[in-house]
Structure 1
Amino acid sequence: MIRKSTLLWLLCALLPLSACSQDQDYTLHSPDGRIAVALDLDGQGRLHYAVTRDGAVVLERSRLGLVLDDRDLAHGLRTLRADAPSLVEGAYTMVQGKQKDITYRARERRYRAENADGQVLELTLRASDDGIAFRYRVEGDAQAGYRVKDELTSFAFAGGSRAWLQPMAVAQTGFANTNPSYEELYLMDIPVGEPSPSAAGWVFPALFHTAGGWALLTEAGMDGHYHASRLQAQAPGGEYRIGFPTGPEVFPGGALAAQGTLPLASPWRIIAIGDLPTLLRSTLGTDLAQPALAPMPWVKPGLASWSWALLKDASVNADTQKRFIDYAAAMGWPYTLVDVNWDRTIGYEKMTELTQYAARKNVRLLLWYNSSGDWNETDFTPKSTLLAPAQRRAEFARLQQMGIAGIKVDFFAGDGQSMINYYRDILQDAADHRLLVNFHGCTLPRGLQRTFPNLMTMESARGLEFVTFTQDNADQAPEHMAMLPFTRNVFDPMDFTPTVLAEIPDIERRTRNGFELALPVLFLSGLQHVAETDAGMAQVPEHVRDYLMDIPVLWDESRLLDGYPGRFAVVARRSGDTWHVVGINADPENRRLALDLSFIGTRTGQMITDGATARDLVRSDLQAGATVTVDIRDRGGFVMKFPAPTATTH
C-alpha cells in the first residue's frame, strides 16, 4: 500500500514542470520524461526524495543526509536550493563486459541544503532513461578533517513490493574467518521489509519489483575516500537504510568508516529502473565509476584453463600445470591459472620454466596470492607478500620479469575504507608492472573495472567451487545461477568459473550439459576460467569443443530476450557481426520459449542443446526469425551461434 502522504507529495512531481512554481519545484526528470525524482525539505529540516516511473511509484518518500563528526547535515536543515537542470553526456570504451562502446546521457541537478550553522550539504542528482543516481559532497577548508558518523540515505518501497536479496555475511566468520566475501545465496521473491537473517544486512546489488517496475540498487565511484556500503538488516515498513562495514573489515591500522580531509564526495547511490531487459542493458554501474586512470592497451581479456576447480590442491604441481598449458593451447585460450601454494609446490625457478614453456604455446600464466596478513586464519601461500608497498612492487617487478600475465588475489577482510584502498593500491601497482588482476574472497567491484582496466574480474559470488564442496550447494546451484544475471553480474565482472561437462568428484551435478555450456556467454568476466579439465573436455563432441574455443569476453551489444530472476534467463550478445544466443532453465520442468530473433536478420546458425540424457548434447541448424521456438529441458539450456553472413559475389 502506498502511503497517503507520499501520494499527495508526489503530485507536483507528476505534473509538467511548468505546473509548479520555481520555489516549490525540486523535481528532475529523465531525458525521456518517464522517470521523475522529487526532493523536499520537511518541517523538521529533513531532506527526502521519491521516485516514479510513468507515474507509478518506484520509491516512496525516502531519507537523504550525512552526519559528520563536526556537523549534522541530516537534521535541522533550514533551506533547500536547486540549480537549473542540465544535460550530461559522455562516452567511454570498456575492455571487457557486455558492451564495448558506451554512451551515457542524463539530466543533472544540484541541490544545496544548509543547517543552522551555515554548513552545506550538496546533493548531485542524475536521472537517465534507465535509472537515477545521486552523491553527496561537503565542501570546506582543505586542512579540515572529516569523519562520517552516519548516512541517512534510505530506499522506501511500498507495501506489496517484492525483493531478491543476498544476506551479508558477518565479518570474521566462515572458512578460516574469511567472511565477508559476498558468497551467500539470494533470498528470492520475499516481501519488502523482511529482516535479513544476518545482522550484517544485505549486499548490493539488491533487486526489487515495484509498481513502477524493477529497481536494482548498487553503488559506484569508489575513489578510496569512502567505505563500501550495504543495506541494513532491518527495514521497517519496507524502508531500507544504508549500512556501514563492521569493525574487523579494515587493513591493519587503517580506517573503517570514511575519513579524510575536505572536500568529501561520497560514492554514487544508483537505482537502475525499468523492465528486466532495461536493467540488464543498463551500464549505470560503470557510467558513474571513475574514468580509466590510464590507458592500458596491453590488457587482453580471454579464457583460461584452471586445474584447481575440480582437481584441487594436489593439482598444483609442475607436471599437471604443464598439462593444463597444453590444454589451453589446444583450445586456443590465452591463459592458464596456477593456484594456491605454487611457491612451495612448484617454486619460482620452475615457474619461470613453465612460463617459458607456455609462451612457446602462446599461453600466459596467472598466479594465485593470499592478500591477507593476520586478519584471518588462512595459511595458503604466497601470503603477506602484498601487504607492504615496497615488497609488493618488488614482487610485481619479479613477476613482470618472469613474463607472468597476471595475479589472482584472495581472502580480503571486507569493506572498510582502508580495505578499499588496499584493492586500489594492488591494482595501481599491478598496472605499473603490466599485470592483470583477479580478486577472490572479496567485495563487489562497484565499477572499478572501468577505473583500472587491468581489473579483469572479481569473485564476489558463490561460484562453481561451492558446487564442488557439498551436495547441498550442488542442489541449489541451478536457481542460484539463474539469479546472478539479474543481480551480481548486471554491472560488474564475476569470476564464477563456469562449465563442467563431465562429472564432479563425489558430487551429483543437478545441471544438464546444455545449461553448463551456456554459462561462459551468460556470465560476464574479463578472465573466464573454465572449470572443466582437459580429460573432461576430451569426452565431449568435437562441435562442443569447437564452440568453446571461440567465446568472446568483450561484447559489442547485449540483450535480455526473456527470463525471470532465479528461474530462467535467455540473453543475446553480439561480437562484431556474430551473434551468440544462450539460455538456461533452472526450473524442474521443461520450458518452451518463443524467441524473437528478427534483430539478427535472415541468417542461418547452429544450436546445441540437451539430448536424451543430462550429459547428451545435440546440434542442429536453425534460421533466425521473428518467432523461433526453443524447448529447454528441466535444468537444461542451449547455445546458438549466428556467424556473420558470408559475402556473395556475382
Structure 2
Amino acid sequence: MKHFFICSLLIILWGCQKHDKSTQHILSNADGSIELTFDLNKNLQPYYLLKYQGKMVLDTSRLGLKRTDGNFESQLSLVSVSEPETITDSYTMFHGKQQQMEYQAKQYTVHLKNNQDQEFNILFQLSENGVALKYQFPETSEDLKRIEEEFTSYKFGPETKSWLQPMAKAKTGWEHTNPSYEEHYEMAISPDKPSHIGEGWVYPALFETDSVWALISETGLKENYCGSRLKYNEELGALQVTFPQTEEVFPGGALNPESVTPWETPWRIITIGSLADIAESTLGTDLADPAIEMNTDFIKGGLSSWSWVLLKDDFTNYETSKKFIDYASNMNWDYCLIDCDWDQKIGFEKLAELASYAQSKDVKVLVWYNSAGSWNTTPYTPRSKLLTHEARESEFKKLKDIGIAGVKIDFFGGDGQSMIAYYHDILKDAAAHELLVNFHGTTLPRGWQRTYPNLMTMESIKGEEFVTFEQVNADLQPSHCATIPFTRNVYDPMDFTPMVLDSIPRMHRRTSKAFELALPILFTSGVQHMAEIPEGMSKQPGEVIELLKNIPVDWDESKLLSGYPGKDAVMARRKGSTWFVVGINGENIPKTIPLDLSFTGSKTGTLITDKQKNSFQIENVTSDQLKEIELNGYGGFVLKLD
C-alpha cells in the first residue's frame, strides 16, 4: 500500500511538472508535405517547429514581439487556433521568371493575449513549398505603438549548411554609402558562424539540411515597418530577425517599427523543398501586396545600353549618349541609360534633345539621380532633388514632359522605417508621372515589384560593375554568379548589369564569353542594363548579336535543370513556344552536365558554347539528341530552341 501511494504521488508530481500539451497545434499544407507545430513553452512563449516530408527543418524556434507598451513574447495565453482557411490568388507580373501566377495556401490564425489582456495574432500560411508567418495587432488605437524587438527565429541543426551574405556596417565604404547589400555570399558555412563584419546577414538566406533546402526572406514590407535581417542569437541557439543599425534612417525619421493599430508586420517567408523548388519559387510576390491603382500602359521591360559601367564618368556626355542610343536601336533594345552627372555634363536642354532623338530611333531614355540627403557624402548629381513630395512632383513632371521613360535612383541610407517609407513615396510619385524606377545602392525589393508595377529592378547585389573595380571581384565572379540563382535573384528582380563579351579595362576576366552570354537569361530583371559597349559588340559573331536582339525579360515559364550554389547552374526559360536554356560553371574545372530536354518537345535550335575561353563555338542541334553538355572551367552555354 505504501509502495502504491509513493508511485501515485510521483505520477501526480510528474504530471504537474509536465508541459500542458493542450496548447500544441499541428498545422499542415494541403498535401501534408509541410508540417508546422505551434506551441507555448513553460514561460508561455510561443514557438514553432517545421518539418518537410517528415524531416526536421527547424527545431524549436521562437516567435513574438516586444512593444514599448506591452510584452507579446512571453506570459501569453492561447485563446484559439482557427480552422484552416483556403487562400487563393491569381495575378500577373510584368517581368520576371513567370507572368501568370497562381497561389494557394492553408491559412491558420493563432489568437493570443498577453498578461495585460492585449490581443495578438500570428498568421501562418502553408502552401505547396512555402511557409509564411506574420503578426497582427487587431485592436484599434490612435496612440503610436512602437516595437522594440522581434523574436522570430530560425533554429537549424548543427549539420545544416548555409549560404549567407553579410550585412555591411552602416556609414562605411565609399563616401559612407553602406549598407547596400553588396557583399559576397559566404558559402556552405554553419548557421551559427558570426558575420566577420558583425552586423548579421541579409536576405535571402539559403540553408540545406539532409538534402532539404530552405530559403528565408521577407515580403509585404509597408511604410510602417523597417526592413530586417538575421543575426545569430547565442541564447536562442538560432538566427533571429533583427532591426537596422541606428544610422539607417531618413534624417529625423523613425528607425524601428512604429504605427497606430490595427497593425500587421511583413510576412516572414520560407521556401522549402528541392533546389529546383527554391530557384523556381514565386513566394516573394505571392505574399506581396497587390498592385496599387495606376495606369500601366507605359510599363514595358527590355534591354538597355549603358556607357558608364565600362567607360565611367568621363563618357557621360552628349556625344557618347547619342552613340549609345544608336547602339540600343541597332540592337533592338528598348532603352538607353544616361548615368550620373548628366545635369552638369549634358544639361537639361540637351537631355531633351537626346530624348527626342531616341524617340526617333524607337528607344527610350532612362536617367540617373542621387537619392541622398545628408546620409552620405556622394558627390554625384543630380543630388537632393527627390527628398520631398513637392520636389519629386516638380522633377518628375519635367522629366515626363521631355519624354524621359524612367529614373535610376542611387545611394540610399539603409533599412530604417523612415527610409523604407522614402522608397514607397518615390515609387508612388513616379507611378503618378508614368516613370519606370530602378533603385541602386539599395535595400532588397521584398516583393515591391508586384505592388508597384513601375518598379523594374533594384541592384542589391555585387554586380558586374564591381568586376571593373578590383581584380578580386573578377576572381570571385564565377562562383558568385553561380550562387545568385539560388539566393538574391529568387524572389526579386536584380540589376546585376550583366555581360562583357570582349574585355574589361585593367582587369583579367575569369569568365568565358559563353558564361557572360548566359547571364542576361540566367538572371531576371525588368530592365537588363547590358555592360558590353558598341566596340565590344561589333567583334562578336553575327549569331550572337542576333541572339542578343531578342532576349525577353517577361518569361512565361522557368525551370531549374541542375545546379548547386557556387558550383554551377543550368536554367531553362520559355517565352511563347521558344525555350532558352543556359548554364554557367562557377568552378575552374571541366564538367559534363546531363541535359533532359524532353519538356521542350522535339525542337531545333542553336547551341553556343566555348570552343576556347576567348571564342565561341556555334552549332545547330535538336533537343531530343542533346543529352549532355560539356563546360570548360568558368565556362557556359546558351541554347535557343524554336
Q: TM-score range by the shorter chain?
A: over 0.9
1:156-171 counterparts in 2 under 5 A?
156-171=155-170
- Match of residue 367 from structure 1: 367
Distance 2:625 2:135 in 1: 46
Q: Tell me the amino acid that sits aligned with residue 168 of structure 1.
A: M
Q: 1:600 to 1:363 in 2, by over 3 A?
A: same
Distance 1:242 1:566 in 2: 25
118-127 or 227-236, which deviates more: 227-236
- Match of residue 184 from structure 2: 185
Is the contact between residue 52 and residue 212 of structure 1 (CA under 8 Å) also seen in structure 2? no
Is the contact between residue 598 and residue 626 of structure 1 (CA under 8 Å) also seen in structure 2? no
Q: Tell me the amino acid that sits aligned with residue 505 of structure 2.
A: P
629-638 or 204-213, which deviates more: 204-213
Q: Tell me the amino acid that sits aligned with residue 546 of structure 1.
A: E
Q: How far 1:445 moved relative to its partner?
A: 0.3
Q: Tell me the amino acid that sits aligned with residue 418 of structure 2.
A: S
- Match of residue 517 from structure 1: 517
- Match of residue 205 from structure 1: 204
Is the contact between residue 208 and residue 214 of structure 2 (CA under 8 Å) also seen in structure 1? yes
1:381-460 counterparts in 2 under 5 A?
381-460=381-460
The Cα offsets for residues 34-60 of structure 1, whole Å up to 9 and x where unpaired, read as: 001110011211000010011100100
Q: Tell me the amino acid that sits aligned with residue 149 of structure 2.
A: D
Q: How far 1:197 moved relative to its partner?
A: 1.0
Distance 1:542 1:233 in 2: 52
Q: Tell me the amino acid that sits aligned with residue 89 of structure 1.
A: T
Q: Tell me the amino acid that sits aligned with residue 525 of structure 1.
A: S
Q: 1:170 to 1:598 in 2, by over 3 A?
A: same
- Match of residue 334 from structure 2: 334
Distance 2:214 2:178 in 1: 27
Q: How far 1:235 moved relative to its partner?
A: 5.1
Answering whether residue 239 of structure 2 is matched by residue 240 of structure 1, we say yes
Distance 1:76 1:354 in 2: 65
Q: Tell me the amino acid that sits aligned with residue 404 of structure 1.
A: I
- Match of residue 354 from structure 2: 354
- Match of residue 496 from structure 2: 496
Distance 2:169 2:120 in 1: 32
Distance 1:153 1:311 in 2: 45
Q: Tell me the amino acid that sits aligned with residue 500 of structure 2.
A: V
- Match of residue 11 from structure 2: none
- Match of residue 647 from structure 1: none
- Match of residue 75 from structure 2: 76
Q: Tell me the amino acid that sits aligned with residue 136 of structure 2.
A: R
Q: Tell me the amino acid that sits aligned with residue 172 of structure 1.
A: K
Q: How far 1:33 moved relative to its partner?
A: 1.1
Q: Tell me the amino acid that sits aligned with residue 388 of structure 1.
A: T
Q: 1:236 to 1:477 in 2, by over 3 A?
A: farther
- Match of residue 301 from structure 1: 301
393-402 or 188-197, which deviates more: 188-197
Which runs of structure 1 show a deviation greater than 4 angstroms over 4 or more consecutive aligned residues? 21-25, 233-238
The Cα offsets for residues 180-228 of structure 1, whole Å up to 9 and x where unpaired, read as: 0000000000112111112211000000001371000000001211000
Distance 1:24 1:113 in 2: 11
Is the contact between residue 171 and residue 180 of structure 1 (CA under 8 Å) also seen in structure 2? yes
Distance 2:35 2:512 in 1: 44
The Cα offsets for residues 560-607 of structure 1, whole Å up to 9 and x where unpaired, read as: 000000110000000011100000001110110111100000111110
- Match of residue 311 from structure 2: 311
Is the contact between residue 584 and residue 637 of structure 1 (CA under 8 Å) also seen in structure 2? yes
- Match of residue 17 from structure 2: none
- Match of residue 38 from structure 1: 37
Q: How far 1:249 moved relative to its partner?
A: 0.6
Distance 2:510 2:450 in 1: 35
Distance 2:74 2:336 in 1: 55
- Match of residue 27 from structure 1: 26
TM-score, reference length from structure 1? 0.94
Distance 1:385 1:601 in 2: 53
- Match of residue 285 from structure 2: 286
Q: Tell me the amino acid that sits aligned with residue 485 of structure 2.
A: P
Distance 2:439 2:567 in 1: 28
- Match of residue 3 from structure 2: none
Q: Tell me the amino acid that sits aligned with residue 105 of structure 1.
A: Q
Distance 1:238 1:70 in 2: 27
Q: How far 1:625 moved relative to its partner?
A: 2.5
Distance 2:393 2:64 in 1: 40
Distance 1:479 1:213 in 2: 22
The Cα offsets for residues 452-491 of structure 1, whole Å up to 9 and x where unpaired, read as: 0000000000000100001111111111111111100001
Answering whether residue 475 of structure 2 is matched by residue 483 of structure 1, we say no
Q: Tell me the amino acid that sits aligned with residue 382 of structure 2.
A: P
Q: How far 1:141 moved relative to its partner?
A: 2.5
- Match of residue 576 from structure 1: 576
Answering whether residue 339 of structure 2 is matched by residue 345 of structure 1, we say no
The Cα offsets for residues 492-549 of structure 1, whole Å up to 9 and x where unpaired, read as: 0000000001110000100000100000000000010000000100001111100111
Answering whether residue 598 of structure 2 is matched by residue 601 of structure 1, we say no
Distance 1:240 1:388 in 2: 37
SS in 2 for 1:232: strand
Distance 1:78 1:404 in 2: 57
1:520-559 counterparts in 2 under 5 A?
520-559=520-559
Distance 1:640 1:234 in 2: 46
Distance 1:162 1:100 in 2: 32
Distance 1:146 1:237 in 2: 26
SS in 1 for 2:468: helix
Is the contact between residue 440 and residue 458 of structure 1 (CA under 8 Å) also seen in structure 2? yes
- Match of residue 14 from structure 1: none
Distance 1:247 1:31 in 2: 42
Q: 1:235 to 1:562 in 2, by over 3 A?
A: farther
- Match of residue 98 from structure 1: 97
The Cα offsets for residues 118-160 of structure 1, whole Å up to 9 and x where unpaired, read as: 1122001000111100000012233122000111110000111
Distance 1:422 1:611 in 2: 49
The Cα offsets for residues 153-179 of structure 1, whole Å up to 9 and x where unpaired, read as: 100001111100000001000010000
Distance 1:342 1:233 in 2: 44
Ranges in structure 2 where 5+ consecutive residues have no aligned partner: 1-19
- Match of residue 7 from structure 1: none
Distance 1:215 1:632 in 2: 28
Is the contact between residue 594 and residue 627 of structure 1 (CA under 8 Å) also seen in structure 2? no
Distance 1:529 1:519 in 2: 11
Q: How far 1:78 moved relative to its partner?
A: 2.5
Percent identity of equivalent pairs: 48
Distance 1:483 1:238 in 2: 26
Q: How far 1:79 moved relative to its partner?
A: 2.5
Is the contact between residue 137 and residue 261 of structure 2 (CA under 8 Å) also seen in structure 1? yes
Is the contact between residue 53 and residue 212 of structure 1 (CA under 8 Å) also seen in structure 2? no
Q: Tell me the amino acid that sits aligned with residue 347 of structure 1.
A: G
Q: 1:602 to 1:22 in 2, by over 3 A?
A: farther
Distance 2:43 2:625 in 1: 57
The Cα offsets for residues 209-253 of structure 1, whole Å up to 9 and x where unpaired, read as: 013710000000012110000001555675100110011111111
Distance 1:344 1:609 in 2: 43
Is the contact between residue 88 and residue 105 of structure 2 (CA under 8 Å) also seen in structure 1? yes
- Match of residue 14 from structure 2: none
The Cα offsets for residues 288-326 of structure 1, whole Å up to 9 and x where unpaired, read as: 100000241320010000000100001100000000000
Distance 1:467 1:144 in 2: 50
Give the superposed CA RMSD: 1.3
Answering whether residue 114 of structure 2 is matched by residue 115 of structure 1, we say yes
Is the contact between residue 194 and residue 234 of structure 1 (CA under 8 Å) also seen in structure 2? no
The Cα offsets for residues 16-43 of structure 1, whole Å up to 9 and x where unpaired, read as: xxxxx99555121111210011100112
Distance 2:441 2:514 in 1: 29
- Match of residue 4 from structure 2: none
Is the contact between residue 135 and residue 265 of structure 1 (CA under 8 Å) also seen in structure 2? yes
Distance 1:24 1:247 in 2: 38
Count the aligned residue pairs: 622
Q: 1:407 to 1:51 in 2, by over 3 A?
A: same
The Cα offsets for residues 81-105 of structure 1, whole Å up to 9 and x where unpaired, read as: 2010111111000001000000001
Distance 2:620 2:31 in 1: 41
Distance 1:540 1:525 in 2: 24
The Cα offsets for residues 313-342 of structure 1, whole Å up to 9 and x where unpaired, read as: 011000000000000000000100000000
- Match of residue 321 from structure 1: 321
